[in-house]
Structure 1
Amino acid sequence: MPTPIAPMLATPGPVPTGEGWAAEIKHDGMRACVTANGDRWRVHSRTGRDVTGNFPELAALPELLGGRRAALDGELVCLDAAGVTDFSRLQQRIGVRDPGPRLLRAAPVTLYLFDLLVLGDEELLETPYSNRRGLLEELDLRGAGVQTPPSFPGATAEVYAAAREHGLEGVVCKRLASPYTPGLRSKTWVKTVIPHTADVVVCGWLPGRGRLRDTIGALIVGAYDRSGRLHLVGRVGSGLSGAARQQLERRLTPLRRVRPPASHAELTAMAEATWVEPEVVARIAYRSWTGGTQLRHPVYRGVLDDHDPSCAQLPD
C-alpha cells in the first residue's frame, strides 16, 4: 500500500490567462488522499486522519483499478437532485464512522478524482500535471461512488464563466507543466472561488431567545488579516438547524475561554457572549462584505473538520 501523500494546495487568485493552463471545476467537498493495492484501500483526510470507515461507498475502487497499486488525490462530495455538490448534505457524513443504511441513502458520497500520484511501482510527483491527468483518464475510474471529472486545457476563462453561470463554487487552474508538491501551497495551482462563500473561525456564541433560550442563538465568527491578526467579522444565526446547534455546543463547550480571542468595537454589546478558542472552522454563505471586514447576511453552511483555522482570511 502506498504511503498517504499530503495534498498539494492551490493559491487563491484570479483566473490565470495565457498558454499552458488547464481548468477544473472546484467542487464543494472534503479533500481526500486515496491509496489502494490489490483489494485493500484507505482514505485519509487533508489533515492525515484515516477516514476509511466513514465512506464505504469507495469499496469499489480496488476493482476499478484492477488491483493496481495507486495513490490518488480527489474530493469527497455529496450531490443534490440537480447533480451539484451540496456541502450541507456532506456535513451529515463528516465524522460519522460506519454510517448506517439510512444515512447512506440520504447522503451518498462520491469521490471525484483529479490527480494520480502513484501507479504501480512508479511515483509520479515529478511528472508534469498534463501527463498525470492523461494517465488518470486512461484508467477511466468511473463507477458507483467514484468519478473522474474532466480537465479543460486552454479554457480557463470559459470554464470560470460556465461555473459562475451554473452557481458552482469556482475553478482550479493548473499549469500543464507543474509537478505535484505534497503539502505545499503552489502558484502553479490557482483556485478562484466564485462569490459568495467564506471559511471563518468560530470565536464564540450568543445565547438564543425564546424557544432557543438554552442553546446557541448565533455564532460569533472571525477571520485573519494578512498580518495574522484575528478580527470578528459577524454573527451567524441563519442556517443553524436544531441538530447543528447541538453539534456545535458539544464541539465548542470544551474550548471556552474567559476573554474574546479578538478585539471588536461591538464587544460591549456582546456581554452575554460565551467565548471560545478559535479552533473550529465553519463555512458560511454571504451576500457581501461591508467595509471589507463585516459579513452581510451570513448563513451557516457547516463545520470544516479538515481545515486549519489559518484558512479563515479577510478578503484582499
Structure 2
Amino acid sequence: MIELPRYAAMLAVPGALPSDDDRWAYEVKFDGIRALAYVAGGLRLVSRNGNDITAAWPELAGLAPAAPPFVLDGEIVVFDAAGRPSFEALQPRIHQRGPAAIRTLAAAVPAIYMIFDLLHIGDRPLVDLTYEQRRELLDRISPHGPHWRVSPQLHGCGADVLTESRRLGLEGIVCKRLDSPYLPGRRNPAWIKVKNARDQEVVIVGWKPGAGRRTGHIGSLLMAVYDDTGKLTYIGNVGTGFTQVMLNDLRAKLQPLQRNTAPVDAPVVDVIWVEPELVGEVTFAEWTGDGRLRHPSWRGLRPDKTPREVTRTAPS
C-alpha cells in the first residue's frame, strides 16, 4: 500500500446556528463513529483517537480504487429500518475483533461510510484549500457504492435545515464555513455542531449493583467528566437506556478495571469502583445547580474518545 501522510480529524464546536447563511453550508450530523479513510491500493480506516479499525468493517473495503491514492474524512454509520442513523444498532459492532463474528455482523448489520471531506489526493495535501474547494473535488471523485456515499451538502436557511433534521428524527446538523481550511486535530468554530437533543460524553468511574430484574447485574453507572483544572469530577448516575446486551458487555469490560479506591469524590455508597478508562455517552434533560445531569439515559460506549477528552458540555 502506498504511504500517505497521517492526518488527525478536525473537530466541530457545539454552538448556535450562524446568522449569515450565505457564508455557510450545512450537513447532517450522523450518529456514528468518526473515521479517516486512507485509500491507496487498499483501505485503512483510522478512528478519531488514532486506532486502526479497518478489520472491524470489511464491507467498506470496496471503497479502494486502483488510483489515485486519497484520504477521506467521514462517519461509519448503521441505519435503522426507518432509514435513520442508529447508534444503538452500531454498538454490537464497535468492539468486535473475532473475524467470524465480524463477518456475521457485517452481513446482518451492514455499515455505510458517509464521506464529508477530502484531505489529500495523489501527492497533494488539500487541507489548506477552502471547504468549498475540497467539497467540489470530492463531488468530482464521487465515491459512491453499496457501502459508501458522499454526505449531502445543504445550502439556504440553517434554521430550516435544522427544523427538517428534527422532523426526520436526526441528531442535528453541522454548519461549515465555506472559506474554512481543514485544521487537522483542532476544534474550531469554522465548524459548528447544532444538536436536536442534549448529550454528554462521560467517563465511567464505577457501578452500583442492581436489584429486582437486575439482581446480579449493573444497576447504574457512575459518571464523571474532567473540569477546567483537569480534575475528574462526579456528575451523577445513569440507570436507564440499557439493553441486556449492553449490560452484559459493560459488565465484561468493567470487571478487569475494578479498584479499591474511588477515583472521584462522590456522595454514594455500595459502589464497585473502576479505573476511569471507558468513555460512554448519555442524553439528558439539563444540568442541575450542583453539577449533576438530570434524567440521563445511556446511549452507548464511545471507543473513539479518550477519557481526557471528556469535559462538560455548555450548560445552555
Work out whether the TM-score is over 0.5. yes
Q: Give SS of 1:103's match.
A: helix
Residue by residue over 1:11-30, the C-alpha shift from the partner in whole angstroms, topping out at 9 and shown as x without a partner, is 12112221411111111100
Conservation of the 8 A alpha-carbon contact between 1:10 and 1:189: yes
Shift of 1:314: 4.3
Residue by residue over 1:189-227, the C-alpha shift from the partner in whole angstroms, topping out at 9 and shown as x without a partner, is 111222133221111100112453322111111234444
Conservation of the 8 A alpha-carbon contact between 2:202 and 2:225: yes
Match of 1:102 among 104, 121, 129: 104
| Letter in structure 2 aligned against 1:96 | Q
Counterpart position of 1:311: 310
Q: Give SS of 2:81's match.
A: coil
Cα distance in structure 1, aligned partners of 2:230 and 2:167:
34
1:34 matched to 2:33? The reply is no
Conservation of the 8 A alpha-carbon contact between 2:57 and 2:102: no
Conservation of the 8 A alpha-carbon contact between 1:239 and 1:299: yes
Conservation of the 8 A alpha-carbon contact between 2:56 and 2:102: no
Identity over aligned pairs, percent? 39
Match of 2:295 among 287, 294, 297: 297
Residue by residue over 1:5-48, the C-alpha shift from the partner in whole angstroms, topping out at 9 and shown as x without a partner, is 1111111211222141111111110001101123x111111111
Q: Give SS of 2:94's match.
A: coil
Counterpart position of 1:282: 280
1:78 matched to 2:78? The reply is yes
Conservation of the 8 A alpha-carbon contact between 1:4 and 1:33: no
Counterpart position of 1:240: 242
Counterpart position of 1:60: 62
Cα distance in structure 2, aligned partners of 1:291 and 1:105:
47
Cα distance in structure 2, aligned partners of 1:91 and 1:166:
22
Counterpart position of 1:133: 135
- 1:2-17 counterparts in 2 under 5 A? 2-17=4-19
Residue by residue over 1:49-106, the C-alpha shift from the partner in whole angstroms, topping out at 9 and shown as x without a partner, is 111111011122124xx53211000000100011110001111111213344431233
| Letter in structure 2 aligned against 1:291 | G
Q: Give SS of 1:15's match.
A: coil
Conservation of the 8 A alpha-carbon contact between 1:24 and 1:172: yes
- After TM superposition, the structure 1 stretch with the greater mean CA deviation from structure 2, 194-203 or 292-301, is 292-301
- 1:173-192 counterparts in 2 under 5 A? 173-192=175-194
1:24 matched to 2:23? The reply is no
Shift of 1:292: 6.9
Q: Give SS of 2:64's match.
A: helix
Conservation of the 8 A alpha-carbon contact between 2:68 and 2:122: yes
Cα distance in structure 2, aligned partners of 1:169 and 1:186:
20
Conservation of the 8 A alpha-carbon contact between 1:224 and 1:314: no
Q: Give SS of 1:173's match.
A: strand
| Letter in structure 2 aligned against 1:82 | A
Conservation of the 8 A alpha-carbon contact between 1:201 and 1:312: no
Shift of 1:168: 1.3
Cα distance in structure 2, aligned partners of 1:100 and 1:226:
39
Q: How many residues align?
A: 309
| Pair 1:314–1:179, CA change in 2 (3 A) | closer
- After TM superposition, the structure 1 stretch with the greater mean CA deviation from structure 2, 1-10 or 299-308, is 1-10
Conservation of the 8 A alpha-carbon contact between 2:35 and 2:76: yes
Cα distance in structure 2, aligned partners of 1:239 and 1:7:
29
Q: Give SS of 1:152's match.
A: coil
Where in structure 1 do 4 or more consecutive aligned residues deviate above 6 Å?
Answer: none
The TM-score normalised by the length of structure 1 is 0.91
Uncovered stretches (5+) of structure 2, i.e. residues with no partner: none
Counterpart position of 1:219: 221
The TM-score normalised by the length of structure 2 is 0.91
Shift of 1:134: 0.7
Conservation of the 8 A alpha-carbon contact between 1:208 and 1:215: yes
Say what the alpha-carbon RMSD is for the aligned residues. 1.9
Shift of 1:127: 0.7
Shift of 1:128: 0.6
- After TM superposition, the structure 1 stretch with the greater mean CA deviation from structure 2, 248-257 or 303-312, is 248-257
